[in-house]
Amino acid sequence: MTAAPSGALAERPSTDDRGRRRHRRPRRAVRRAVIAASVVAGVLALLGVGYVAVDRNAAGFLADNGRDAGPPAAAPSAAPANSASPQLDPMPLVIPGLGPKTRAAIPAASRQVLVASGRARNSSDTLVTLWSRLRDGHWHPGPTWPAHNAKDGWTTDHHAGDLHSPIGVFTLHDAGGFDADPGSKLPYHHSSGFQAGGVGFDGEPLDEAFDYVIAIDYNRVPGTSPLDPTQPLGSGRGGGIWVHVDHGGPTHGCVSVAASHMIELLRTLVPADHPVIVMGDGNSLAE
Cα–Cα distance list, 149 to 104, 142, 249, 253 (Å) = 23, 20, 9, 6
Dihedral (Cα; 278, 281, 285, 287), 10-degree rounding: -160
* Residue among 197, 180, 196 nearest 188 (CA): 180
Exposure string over 158-185, b if 16+ CB within 10 A, otherwise e: beeebebbbbbbbbbbbbbbbbeebebb
91 class by beta-carbon count within 10 Å (0-12 exposed, 13-18 middle, 19+ buried): middle
Own/partner pairs for 94-98, CB < 8 Å, 24+ apart? Answer: 94/139, 95/131, 95/139, 95/278, 97/282, 97/285, 97/286, 98/278, 98/285, 98/286
Q: Phi and psi at residue 21, in whole multiples of 5°?
A: -85, 140
What is the chain's pLDDT, residue by residue, as a tens digit (287 residues)? Answer: 333 333 332 323 333 333 333 333 343 443 444 344 444 444 333 334 333 333 333 333 223 333 333 333 333 333 334 334 445 578 899 999 999 999 999 999 999 999 999 999 999 999 999 999 999 999 999 999 999 999 999 999 999 999 999 999 999 999 999 999 999 999 999 999 999 889 999 999 999 999 999 999 999 999 999 999 999 999 999 999 999 999 999 999 999 999 999 999 999 999 999 999 999 999 999 99
Alpha carbon distance 123, 237 (integer Å): 21
Alpha carbon distance 226, 175 (integer Å): 7
Angle at 96 between CA 94 and CA 102, to 5 degrees: 75
- The pLDDT of residue 87: 52
DSSP state of 94: S
Domain boundary assignment for the chain: 13-65, 100-285
Q: Under a CB-based contact definition with an 8 Å cutoff, are residues 129 and 160 in contact?
A: no
Q: Under a CB-based contact definition with an 8 Å cutoff, are residues 181 and 189 in contact?
A: no
- The pLDDT of residue 58: 33
Give the count of alpha carbons within 13 A of 225, CB side only.
13
Q: From the centroid of its chain, how far is CA 261?
A: 14
- Determine how many CB atoms are found less than 10 A away from the CB of residue 186: 21
Q: Under a CB-based contact definition with an 8 Å cutoff, are residues 139 and 133 in contact?
A: yes
Within 8 A by CB and 6+ apart from 231, the residues are 219, 220, 237, 238, 239
pTM: 0.70
Q: From the centroid of its chain, how far is CA 120?
A: 23
